[in-house]
Amino acid sequence: MTYYEQKAKLAYELYQKGLPFQKVYAAVQKGDKFLVLKIQDKKFKYSLSGGGIDEGEDVETAIKRELMEEMNAHVEFVKELDVIHYVHTWRYEGKEFDVDYEAHIVLVNFLSFAKKRKLGLDGEFDNKNVEIVEISKEEMLNNVAEFVDFGVKLD
């Protein structure tokens, strides 16, 4: 089963239970810049790193794990900036359904990269041109969906 098939299955299970898909995303501050993912073929030029909150995890534990998986980065949790809600349409086993999402947007400080530098775990970034880039606060506020579409504040 591919990474996205696994995600679709999880989304379907949550949908059947009437539960939201719990996510966490980080504004990763490195000095006066922010580390973000630059991913081709997205609505916005940049994307926050993050992902699902696993059963038994809190927001801080989940974002530290996700940033290690996606950016191979060690970080220090600073604070939660906002919680946003949205709906995403999925397809699984021939069924189309809408899943409610609850996404925690957090601020973390970059500490260091781990020795390994492979981006994305378990095929998450297969067939995508993904790189980690540094952008200014202004670029973050104007070019990342959570800040533009949901009005999340960095302060």
Nearest-angstrom CA–CA distance, 35 and 71 = 9
10-residue block means of pLDDT along the chain (155 residues)?
89 96 98 91 84 95 93 94 97 96 98 73 61 93 94 92
Helix (H, G, I), strand (E, B) or coil at 5: helix
Residue located via tokens 């299955």: 9
The structural domains of the chain, with segments of one domain joined by +, span 3-149
pLDDT value of residue 90 = 96
pLDDT value of residue 117 = 58
Token duo for residue 117: 């530098």
The reply to whether the predicted model has a pTM over 0.85 is yes
- 3-149 CATH choice from 3.50.50.60, 3.90.79.10, 1.10.3720.10, 3.20.20.70: 3.90.79.10
pLDDT value of residue 120 = 60
pLDDT value of residue 48 = 95
